[in-house]
Amino acid sequence: MTTDHSIRAERLTLGYRDRVVIDRLDLTFPPAKITAIVGANACGKSTLLRSMSRLLPPRAGHVLLDGRAVHRMPAKELARTLGLLPQSPIAPEGITVADLVGRGRHPHQSVLSRWSKQDDLAVAAALDATHTADLADRSVDELSGGQRQRVWIAMALAQQTDVLLLDEPTTFLDVSHQVEVLDLLTDLNRARGTTIVMVLHDLNMAARYADHLIALAAGTVHAAGEPADVLTEDCVRAVFGLDSRIIVDPTSGKPLMLPLGRHHVAETA
């Protein structure tokens, strides 16, 4: 079985009621690579991810997974290949961490094959990888924002899909947990060839961790490619309306964006 899945959007049009958010978008996500999507608030990043995981039907066009339109695939079948961590997931009231992470195993179960040893192992591995095992018996409602975010990541990991879509996986996380989660996703990509598509607001983390960077602006692709080619001063100005300097990150060799605000900018900048 291959983990290399092709995912593309073909003339994809998405919207809500009378608002078109994405208009005839053509986009390819490289298989077995890490793609980061960046763009201003409300440009359509979450809308795109929701449509890729069939939560939002297209107005026109398709999202194709291995050549098949995802919104014509049965939900459970799709969920065995592709998992989504939404931007603001909602946990059932009072659910424990272990039970929530266990829900990641639902796509692998059926009437005939209920909870198995393999499910136990997948949940334990996901709790372990996200350092949430000590929270297993706690109620999700009573966790800190960062703890809760790591539990949701654990649930997505427990699903053990070849394709993982994550909408701002590092929100609420302190800097060391941010690095840990991005390192963990990189490990998953390198060890299993998992295709990762994630929305990130931190352009520097995106440039550092992504093989492929997509800058979205008003539902269209402003630029896509290697981070060094995409994250330029012109791109930051066009996509975010922000002046910046791009330097080479001495620790990674990747582009590092320094925003120029109206204050605290040296004459030489």
Ligand X SMILES: Nc1ncnc2c1ncn2[C@@H]1O[C@H](COP(=O)(O)OP(=O)(O)OP(=O)(O)O)[C@@H](O)[C@H]1O
21 binds ligand X (CB under 6 A): yes
Q: Which does residue 42 bind out of Mg ion, ligand X, none, counting CB within 5 to 8 angstroms by kind? A: ligand X
Contact 27, 205 (CB under 8 A): no
**Residue 217 touches ligand X, criterion: CB under 6 A:** no
Of these, 25, 34, 44, 160, which contacts ligand X (CB under 6 A)? Answer: 44
Of 12, 27, 43, 158, the residue at the interface with ligand X (CB under 6 A) is: 43
Question: Which of 87, 96, 186, 220 touches Mg ion by CB under 5 A?
Answer: 87
Q: Could you say whether residue 171 binds ligand X (CB under 6 A)?
A: no
Residue 104 contacts residue 122 (beta carbons within 8 Å): yes
Residue number, 22 or 122, with CB nearest to Mg ion: 22
Question: Which of ligand X, Mg ion, none does 255 bind, CB closer than 5 to 8 A by kind?
Answer: none
Q: Which is nearer to ligand X, 50 or 131 (CB)?
A: 50
Among residues 1, 2, 18, 41, the one that binds ligand X under rule CB under 6 A: 41
Give phi and psi for 37, each to the nearest 5: -110, 125
Q: Can you tell me which of 12, 36, 46, 235 binds Mg ion, judged by CB under 5 A?
A: 46
Q: Which of 5, 45, 108, 177 binds ligand X (CB under 6 A)?
A: 45
Q: Residue 33 or residue 50: which is nearer to ligand X going by CB?
A: 50
Min CB(201)–Mg ion separation in Å: 9
Nearer to Mg ion, 45 or 62 (CB): 45
Nearest by Cα to 49 from 160, 149, 163, 183:
163
Q: Which of 42, 60, 248, 258 binds ligand X (CB under 6 A)?
A: 42
- Please give the C-alpha separations between residue 97 and each of 154, 156, 171, in angstroms, as whole numbers: 9, 13, 19
Main-chain dihedrals φ then ψ at residue 7, nearest 5 degrees: -130, 125
Residue 88 CB, nearest approach to Mg ion (Å) = 9
Contact residues for ligand X, defined by CB under 6 A: 16, 19, 21, 39, 41-47, 87
